Amino acid sequence: MRKVTLSTIAEELGVSTATVSLALRDSPLVADATKERIKEAASRSGYIYNRRAASLRTSRSGIIGVVVPDIMNPFFAEILVGIEEELGSSRHTFILCNHRDKIAAQQNFIETLLQFGADGVILSPAIGTTADDIRAIESSGLPVVFVARWVKGARVPVFRGDDKKGAYMVTRHLIEMGHRKIAFIGGKRETSTGNDRREGFLAALEQAGIEAVPELRIGSERTRKAGYDAARTMFSKDREAATAIVCFNDLLAIGVMSGLRSLGIEPGRDVAVAGYDDIAEAEISAPTLTSVWNGQQEAGRLAARAMVRILTGSVSEEDAHDDRLIQPELRIRESSCPPKPV
């Protein structure tokens, strides 16, 4: 029982492999009757299309690389879901890389993609990625689109939530509730997302004429644990260090709430807390968490769609650079509260 290939079928039916190839792809060059016979024979014999062989010839592999910082982070997991859904409907498959913000890992993966003859890469670049890095990738023949994060100076379409606006919205919401001492926890200056959210935060303060106090901004990892620690650091000396906290993301915010509670401070009553991303947990944490819906899945979907468009050539150069900012939505929940009356 040797492997069934085009020529197995061709032989069996007494036609050429070219005919078989064309027939299976429904080419109008082949007579209907022949197509029938061929297709029947193919499915009967359990023929399996050999993409490696095909792509060797066509130099189109149907593989798209997806590079994200960390799939354990629901934010990126959700983006991935969006990408997967979209690619599923377009005969493309993706291979995945978690770079954990290690440039080397990212670089390594790009190399692998090239070896596989990947058609393109959807990238949430690692901290420290330069515009030159991106250019290098592109000039080696891999089209790039960004998702969630992007790199300054790289002329590449980017799909992401409007972080600055979202951060502005949630900060503004807290200000409107009467807060003046608002802290910002988490996010690294090095990531575009971190920068944008911080900017939005600062913009809201400024607009309300509130002076920004550097002590009220703590950078950190983007994990629950980091949130827990940051909250304890900030509030252990001064229980009224701030009356509200904007967190870089929900994971952090949930950690922050635990941290507060461990100090006997009740989030949503003593101190208002807000997160970002609106992950599933936000709705079910205790208290439920005010957050900003950021359209991760949508971003993934759009990025994948854009990539497919680029690959199928059904996109103008213009189109490709039409960065799509997904409009964030504020989700107000129990963790929002006015400042405690003194």
Q: Which positions touch DNA (CB under 7 A)?
A: 3, 5-7, 14-19, 21-22, 24-25, 29-34, 47, 49-50, 53-54, 56-59
Distance between CA atoms of residues 217 and 248, nearest Å:
11
Q: How far is the CB of 16 from DNA (least distance, A)?
A: 4
Residue 82's Cβ-side half-sphere holds a number of Cα atoms within 13 Å equal to 24
Q: Which is nearer to DNA, 53 or 72 (CB)?
A: 53
- Report the Cα–Cα distance between both ends of the chain, in Å, rounded: 84
Q: Would you say 91 or 189 has its CB closer to DNA?
A: 91
Where along the sequence are the contacts to its own copies (CB under 8 A)?
Answer: 46, 48-53, 55-56, 61, 63, 71-72, 74, 77-78, 80-81, 84, 93-96, 98, 111-112, 114-117, 140, 223-225, 228, 254-255, 257-258, 261, 280-281, 283-286
Chosen from its own copies, DNA, none, partner binding at 80 (C-beta under 5 to 8 Å by type): its own copies
- What secondary structure does DSSP assign to 153-222, as a single string? T----EEEE-HHHHHHHHHHHHHHTT--SEEEE-B-TTSHHHHHHHHHHHHHHHHTTPPP-GGGEE-B-S
Query: Binds 71, which of its own copies, DNA, none (CB < 5 to 8 A, cut-off by type)?
Result: its own copies
For residue 10, the minimal CB distance to DNA (Å) is: 7
For residue 186, the minimal CB distance to its own copies (Å) is 14
Q: How far is the CB of 285 from DNA (least distance, A)?
A: 51
- In angstroms and rounded to an integer, the radius of gyration of the C-alpha atoms of the chain is 26
Name the token pair of 52: 């490696």
Closest approach of Cβ 323 to its own copies, in Å? Answer: 26
Return the H-helix or E-strand segment holding 273: strand 272-274
Task: Between 54 and 71, name the residue whose CB sits nearer to DNA.
Answer: 54
- Tokens representing 263 are 């100090």
Helix (H) or strand (E) holding 244: strand 244-247
Which of its own copies, DNA, none interacts with 112 (beta carbon under 5 to 8 A by kind)? its own copies
CB of 149 to its own copies, least distance (A): 19
Give the pair of three-digit tokens for residue 295. Answer: 């359209």
Between CA 151 and CA 160, with CA 154 as vertex, the angle to 5 degrees is: 50
